[in-house]
Amino acid sequence: MIAGTEASAAAAARFKAVRDATLALCEPLEVEDHVIQSMPDASPPKWHLAHTTWFFETFILSEFVHGYEPVDPSYRYLFNSYYMGIGEQHPRPQRGLLSRPTLREIRSYRAVVDLRMQELLARATEEREEIERRTLLGIHHEQQHQELLLMDIKHFFSVNPLHPVYKPGAPARARSASHLEWLEVPGGLREFGHDGDGFAYDNESPRHAVHLAPFELASRAVTNGEYLAFVQEGGYKSPEFWLADGWAHVVQHGWQAPLYWKKMEGVWHEFTLQGLRQVQPEEPVVHVSFYEADAYARWRSARLPTEFEWEAAARDAAVAGNFVDSAAMHPRPADGSGLQQMFGDVWELTRSDYAPYPGYRPAPSALGEYNGKFMCGQYVQRGGSCVTPQEHVRVTYRNYFYPFQRWNFQGMRLARDVG
């Protein structure tokens, strides 16, 4: 019983810390900011606050509290994201039209659900193990939304002609980025995927064997300066470097540079969470799509690594770096020698399709919709970014986005075949 009580107390403390962290990310915002949805892929901050609360109410309180009465039955529809097993959802592109419920009401919703969750976690019940398992899943789900929240804030501030500042103070001025080295990684048959020790999402399993050929991996992420050379030498005007779908996006959307880059009086500037500033050549390039990363790699006579090559190289690296916990909320230049920046700064695009590992089975019930239903048409990213909570990342963590999407804090690291 003591062990169970201690585990519940630890779960309750971690639950509170993560819930408080989400509210802290919203502190710089005005009430008006909480309602804005600047594109269909994004969501208003108010929706993130509500949806993460909906998750705990729907998958824990409603199932484990006898006779539970929801705070507001309409929230089951309004703040469901894509869980078809739960029921219909309010259309995603229309989330920004919800002036009601108000921000005050959503904050009250969070407070009520938080109190009920703490009461549940404090009780000794036969379902304690499952409650704590789902609470941990909900905590990691909320950490994902903390990152999405910052992505969406940056996007809707970027389309405002006033270039609002989310986080006052310019990012640290740069030292020179470390020299790029090509590090050889031996091939062979290796095991990949989560080993079952600690939390992981279902898409990180089962652990399985993959044969790798020897390859070379760049010691750090591609920098703004390196990518700027691609821009200046006509990379966005040269279809020979692009996949057909990528070139179609260049033509259709008029891409000329990474998202958030803007040329002013002949000089490239970049919109950041600290506002608009001149592009810093030594910082990792960020907000490029898979298509852009693939085209740049071809231009450099290189390629993107597979997710298994990335994992093989990162296996012995410490999960440390420039995460949201460091408060920079912007990529920093690499510093040092050898393998650098495997974690933090920018999510690193890979050449791997987001597909199930051999033997994968989604979990039963609506919770099984968390990852498996998206295993089509997307590409895997690894390592976390400057807006990812550090404790949320593992060497086996598989992030995924569509190849045309750019508002995630994603960049790239190059690889080359040996021989």
- Mean local confidence (pLDDT), 312-327: 94
DSSP string covering 72-97: -TTHHHHT--S-TTT-----GGGGGG
What is the rounded CA–CA span in Å between residue 400 and residue 354? 7
* Parallel, antiparallel or unpaired: strands 347-353 and 275-278: unpaired
pLDDT at 2 over 50: no
Tell me what pLDDT residue 367 has.
83
On the question of pLDDT at 402 being above 50, the answer is yes
Structure confidence at residue 4 as a pLDDT band (50, 70, 90): low
**Distance between CA atoms of residues 234 and 238, nearest Å:** 6
Q: pLDDT-derived band of residue 368, with 50, 70 and 90 as boundaries?
A: confident
Cβ atoms of residues 315 and 342 within 8 Å:
no
Domains in the chain: boundaries: 2-158, 182-417
Determine the pLDDT at residue 327: 85
What does the pLDDT read at residue 1? 38
Find, among 353, 215, 341, 243, the residue nearest to 299 by Cα: 243
Q: What is the dihedral of CA 275, 149, 330, 166, to 10 degrees?
A: 30
**Residue 178 in tokens:** 């470390």
Q: What whole-number distance in Å separates Cα of residue 208 and Cα of residue 213? A: 17
By the 10 Å C-beta count (0-12 exposed, 13-18 middle, 19+ buried), 343 is classed as buried
pLDDT digits (tens, 9 = 90+) for 52-78: 999 999 999 999 999 999 999 999 999
Q: At 190, which helix (H) or strand (E)?
A: strand 188-192
Higher local confidence (pLDDT), 46 or 367: 46
pLDDT given at position 171:
58
Query: pLDDT band at 112, cuts 50/70/90?
Result: very high
* pLDDT level of residue 126 (50, 70, 90 thresholds): confident
Architecture of domain 182-417: Alpha-Beta Complex (3.90)
- Residue 174: is its pLDDT beyond 60? no
Q: What integer is the mean pLDDT of 158-169?
A: 94
- State the average pLDDT over residues 201-226: 97
pLDDT of residue 172: 57
Residues whose CB falls within 8 Å of the CB of residue 194, separated by 6 or more in sequence, listed in order: 200, 204, 205, 207, 394, 396
pLDDT at position 165, please?
97
Task: Please answer whether residues 346 and 331 qualify as being in contact, where contact means their C-beta atoms are separated by less than 8 angstroms.
Answer: yes
pLDDT in tens, 242-291: 999 999 999 999 999 999 999 999 999 999 999 999 999 999 999 999 99
Mean of all residue pLDDT scores within the chain: 95
> What average pLDDT does this structure show over 328-341?
94
Q: What average pLDDT does this structure show over 175-196?
A: 93
Identify which of 4-18, 79-93, 209-223 has the greatest average pLDDT.
Answer: 209-223
Mean pLDDT is lowest, of 28-32, 36-40, 323-327, for 323-327
Percent of the chain with pLDDT over 90: 89
Q: Name the pTM for this structure.
A: 0.96
> What CATH code would you report for 2-158?
1.20.120
